[in-house]
Amino acid sequence: MLFQQFKVEGLGCLSYLIGCPQDGRAIVVDPKRDIEDYLQAAQINKLKITAIIETHVHADHISGAPELSHQTGAPIYIGAGSPISYAHHPLNDGDEMVVGNAKLKVVATPGHTPHSISLAITDLARGDLVEMLLTGDLLFVGSIGRPDLAGGELLEEQIRNAFHSLKVKLGQFEDYVEVYPAHGAGSLCGAGISAKPSSTLGFERRTNPFMQLDFADFRKLLSQNTPHRPVNFTHIIETNKQQAQLTENLPVISEYNPVTCRKFIDSDPDNNLIIDLREATAFGGAHIPGSFNIGMAPNSATWIGNVVKPESTLLLLANNHEDIENAVTMFRRVGYDNIKGFIVGLSGWILAAEETGFLPQITVHSLHHVLEKYSNHRVLDVRNEAEWLSGHIETAEHLPLPELIKETFAGDPEEHISVICMSGYRSNIAASMLKQRGFKNVYSVIGGMSTWKAAGYKLA
| 270, 308 contact by CB (below 8 A) | no
Secondary structure of residue 305 in the 3-state scheme: helix
Q: Shortest CA distance to 94 belongs to which of 67, 118, 74?
A: 118
Contact 66, 76 (CB under 8 A): yes
Instruction: Find the catalytic residue in 13, 189, 261, 421.
Output: 421
Which residues 6+ apart lie within 8 Å of 114 measured at CB?
A: 81, 150, 154, 157, 158, 161
CA 5, 197, 122, 164 dihedral sign is negative
Backbone angles phi, psi at 65, to 5 degrees: -60, -50
Is the backbone of residue 41 left (phi > 0), alpha (psi -120 to 50) or beta? alpha
What phi and psi values does residue 305 have, to the nearest 5 degrees?
Answer: -65, -20
Whether residue 452 contacts residue 420, with contact meaning beta carbons closer than 8 Å, is answered with: yes
Catalytic residue list contains 189: no
What is the C-alpha to C-alpha distance for residues 19 and 26, in angstroms, rounded to an integer?
A: 4
E strand or H helix that includes residue 33: none
CB atoms within 10 A of CB 206: 11
Dist CA 129 CA 293 (whole Å): 51
Question: What are the residue numbers of the active site?
Answer: 421
